[in-house]
Amino acid sequence: MLTNRELERYRRQIALFGEEAQERLASAVAVIAGAGGLGGARSPSTLPPPASGRSGS
């Protein structure tokens, strides 16, 4: 069941596809593989984590 916040956030998608479809999307899992081959700008979620314990130079 979607929360009130989720219902508000996804109201346009729910209007098109229904609440059941949105619940299935909310519980889905996605894997991004080979994002480096896409060219252009990348989403922050696909960037590697910063190196820990190292300074800028």
Q: What pLDDT score was predicted for residue 5?
A: 94
Confidence at residue 37, expressed as pLDDT on a 0 to 100 scale: 66
Number of domains in the chain: 1
Does residue 47 lie in a domain region?
A: no
In-domain check, residue 51: no
Summarize pLDDT for 6-42 with one digit per residue, the tens: 999 999 999 999 999 999 988 998 887 776 666 666 5
pLDDT at 50: 67
Phi, psi dihedrals of residue 55, rounded to the nearest 5°: -90, 175
- Range(s) of the domain holding residue 22: 1-30
Residues 18-23: contacts with CB under 8 Å, at least 24 apart: none
Whether residue 57 is predicted with pLDDT greater than 60 in this model: the reply is: no
Q: Which pTM was predicted?
A: 0.49
Distance CA 47, CA 43 (A): 7
- Higher-pLDDT residue of 22, 54: 22
